[in-house]
Structure formats: C-alpha cells, structure tokens
Amino acid sequence: DTEVTQTPKHLVMGMTNKKSLKCEQHMGHRAMYWYKQKAKKPPELMFVYSYEKLSINESVPSRFSPECPNSSLLNLHLHALQPEDSALYLCASSHAGRDEKLFFGSGTQLSVL
C-alpha cells in the first residue's frame, strides 16, 4: 500500500462551522505533513509531525488545529475559517529523516463561504 488517503475530497463550510480533514497512511511513515496550496502556487508547509509529535508549526493561525492520534492518522481541525483560507489542503507522509521523498494524498479542496 503506497497510498495516502485524504477525506473529504471537497468541503464547503461557512465561517462559523467546525470541520475536520482526515489523512491516513499505512506505509509505516513516521513523518506526516499538512500543506496548503493556492491555485498556480507551490504547496506551503503548515505543520510537520515526527513520531507523532508536532515538530514544525509554520506560524499557522490557531483556527487550524492539527492532531496526530497515532502513527497512521493525521487530522486538521478547522474552526472559524476565513474566505481567504479557501485552498487545496494536502497531506503528505515520508520516512522520518533527511531527504526522504514525500507521498501526497489527493487533497481536500476547501471552500469557505
């Protein structure tokens, strides 16, 4: 199994809603990532978990809250988002360590109304 599975594929939410994005991998990877990608731009790193501990938070607003319940799962909890948060949210995983290739999920296309 070389897949990273993300759900949902599409999400529309209002600014007062609370929703969660989910990501799962069964490749034994111990590093998991959340990226945000706007149209025609490269992915921007948001969070990195290494061995289930948050190792990097790229000064992301607190309305985005990551969670890594175990080595296979990664969640991103969303609350009180703004329209400018509309983007493609990508989960990725890799073996922990330097220069390991990333395996990306197919992403969640989020629209905030």
Partner 1 sequence: GQNIDQPTEMTATEGAIVQINCTYQTSGFNGLFWYQQHAGEAPTFLSYNVLDGLEEKGRFSSFLSRSKGYSYLLLKELQMKDSASYLCAGFGPTSGTYKYIFGTGTRLKVLA
Question: Footprint of partner 1 on this chain (CB under 8 A)?
Answer: 33, 40-43, 45, 48, 55-56, 88, 90, 98-107, 109
Strand pairing partners for 4? Answer: 25
The conformational region for residue 109 under phi > 0 = left, psi -120 to 50 = alpha, else beta, is beta
Shortest distance, CB of residue 6 to partner 1, whole angstroms?
8
Q: Quick one: 5 or 15, whose CB is closer to partner 1?
A: 5
Q: Quick one: 10 or 16, whose CB is closer to partner 1?
A: 10
Shortest distance, CB of residue 80 to partner 1, whole angstroms?
27
Between CA 88 and CA 9 the distance in angstroms is 9
Closest CA to 3 of 35, 34, 28, 26: 26
Q: Quick one: 84 or 99, whose CB is closer to partner 1?
A: 99
